[in-house]
Structure 1
C-alpha cells in the first residue's frame, strides 16, 4: 500500500472540520431549544397560576356581592312572607259579570269549535291516502321483522350447531 491518498489531505481535514462544526451547531441548537422549552413551560405555569388567582378572585367577589345583596334585601324587607295585615291602596276591581245568554253562547261556540276540529282531524286521519300510507308502513315493518327473525334464527342454529360440534368433539376426544 502506498502513502498516496486519492483525495488531497486538506479536503479530508476540511470535511472533518465541517462535520465537527455541524455537530457543534446541532448541540447548540439542542441546548437553545431546551432553554426555549423551559421558558415556555415557566410561562405556561405562570399563566395557569394567574388564571387560578383570577378565578378565585372572581368567585370571592361574586360571593361578596351575593352577601351584600342578601344583607340589603334583609334590611329593606325583614322576613316579609305575605301582605295579609296591610291595607291595599286601591281595592281590586270586581270581576265583570257575563249575562246568561252571552255565557251560553260562548260555551256553545267553544264546543262547536272543538267538535269541528275533531271532525276535521278524523276526516284527515281516515282519508284514503293516510290509510294507504299506514298500510304500506305496516307492510314494510312486517317484512323487516320477518327478515330480522330469519337472521336471528340462522345465527341461533349456527351457534347451536357449533356447541354441538364442540360437545361432540370433547366427548369423542375423552372416549378415545
Structure 2
C-alpha cells in the first residue's frame, strides 16, 4: 500500500512541476503579426523583422552574418561566434567592391524569390475567390496582407538595386 501512495505522490509532483514549467514557455503560434520593420545595419537595409505583441522578431542568421558573426545552431541553441578573419560582411566595411556586389546580388536574388512566391500566392488565392462554390475563410484578408508584403519587398528590392548601382 505504501508503494502505491509513494508512486501517486511522485506522479503528482512530476505532473505539477511539468505544468509549472510549461507556463514559462511562450509560443507565437496563433498570434497575430502586428507589423513589420526594416532592419538596417550601418544605414543599409539588411532584412525585415516582424512585430508580435510589441516585440520585434528578426532573422538571426541574416543579421548575425551581416554584423560579422558566424551563425550556427546546436541543440536548439543559436550560437554567434566572431569570424576568424578581420573582415566584416556589412556592405562597405572592409570588403572589396566585388565582395559587396556579390553580397548585394545574393540579397537581390532572395528578394526576387520572395516577390515571386508572394505573387504566386496572391494569384492562387484570387483564383479561389473566383470559384462558384467559394466560401470565405479569410482569403481576402490574407491577400491584402500579401499585397502589403509584396509592396515592401519591391521597395527593399529597389533599395538593394540602387545600392548595387552605386557600387559600379
Larger gyration radius, structure 1 or structure 2: 1
Which structure dedicates a bigger proportion of its chain to helix?
Answer: 1
Which structure dedicates a bigger proportion of its chain to strand?
Answer: 2
Shorter-chain TM-score: what band? under 0.3
Q: TM-score scaled to structure 2, two decimals?
A: 0.23
